[in-house]
Amino acid sequence: MSQHIHENKIQELELKANEARQLLISALVEAGSGHTAGPLGMADIFTAMYFHILNHDPKNPDWEERDRLILSNGHITPIRYVLMAMAGYFPIEELKTLRKFGSRLQGHPERERLPGVETTSGPLGSGLGQAAGYAYAASLDNKKFRVYCFMSDAEQAAGATWESAMFASKNKLSNLTAVIDRNNIQIDGMTENIMPLEPLRAKYEAFNWHVLEVDGHNIEQFVDAVEEAKAIYEKPTVIIAHTIPGKGVDFMEFDYLWHGNPPGMVKSDPDAPPPDQQAEEALKQLRTLGGKIRSEHE
């Protein structure tokens, strides 16, 4: 689906990503709980995936030849839900049920609840092994679909991730592309203070992966990286996507306290709006961002 990406398409995707961020804030406020920073930071990439990169069919989510998107860091699933709804997997109105009792949209994704979700996730460090196994089986069956594995940066501290990296390299899984959300935060603080990950690129190169680094908010860069991964022979690819946690809302950006809290639940920055005004201010800023995107392309 995704060959060369034209400027008009980039503009369309940027606008969709901004719409997705607004829907995300509204869903989190309705839920009264959930993760904000990571989902806002990954909105551009999920938009590119669901509206340009993935070979998928929302009306036939179990289509055998579909690409598989394995979400290892399940806590950022609200932004995946938003993009799935926008793509037509389920009604946008259902986003209001996020984290509600009995909802298909649980705080961490459950495979058997929602068509189009490939795996149940939550325990960090499990996703790359699942994705590598899936990619290996696909290669044995001569299947042409691709497997994408989304991971957080903090879960690179999990030993299972590196066991899976060795397995993927050993089996030359060129049909596997991993994407690391390199936003530098985790629930307790900054990654480099809690468990330093650098030099992250060199580590994956030492495990014989093809490594690409992109600005995770530059859709064209990300699409080009995915296309390059398709051209790599006998080696898996990892895209290290540098993102801004809380992207688009100034009082949330780079503040790890927004990792696992929705608007109205954080009292950190003295310059931030009071909790009862945080959602309104976040939506206001995101709508303004949408105006800036349009003006840049006019």
Q: How far apart are CA 208 and CA 234, in angstroms?
A: 10
Local confidence band at 294 (pLDDT 50, 70, 90 cut-offs): very low
Beta-carbon count within 10 A of 32 CB: 13
Q: How far apart are CA 18 and CA 20, in angstroms?
A: 5
pLDDT at 292 over 70: no
pLDDT at 4 over 70: no
The two tokens of residue 41 are 């930071």
Alpha helices in the chain (DSSP H): 7-31, 37-41, 43-48, 77-87, 127-140, 159-170, 191-194, 200-206, 219-230, 275-297
Mean pLDDT on 229-237: 97
Local confidence band at 295 (pLDDT 50, 70, 90 cut-offs): very low
pLDDT at 142 over 50: yes
pLDDT at 277 over 80: yes
All structural domains of the chain, each given as residue ranges with its CATH number in brackets, are: 7-297 (3.40.50.970)
Q: What percent of the chain has pLDDT over 70?
A: 95
110-130 residue pLDDT tens = 999 999 999 999 889 999 999
12-42 residue pLDDT tens = 999 999 999 999 999 999 999 999 999 999 9
Reported pTM: 0.93
User: If you search the block for the tokens 């689906």, which residue do you land on?
Assistant: 1
Integer-rounded Cα radius of gyration of the chain:
18
Instruction: List all residues 6 or more positions away from 111 whose beta carbon is below 8 Å from its beta carbon.
Output: 117, 118, 119, 120
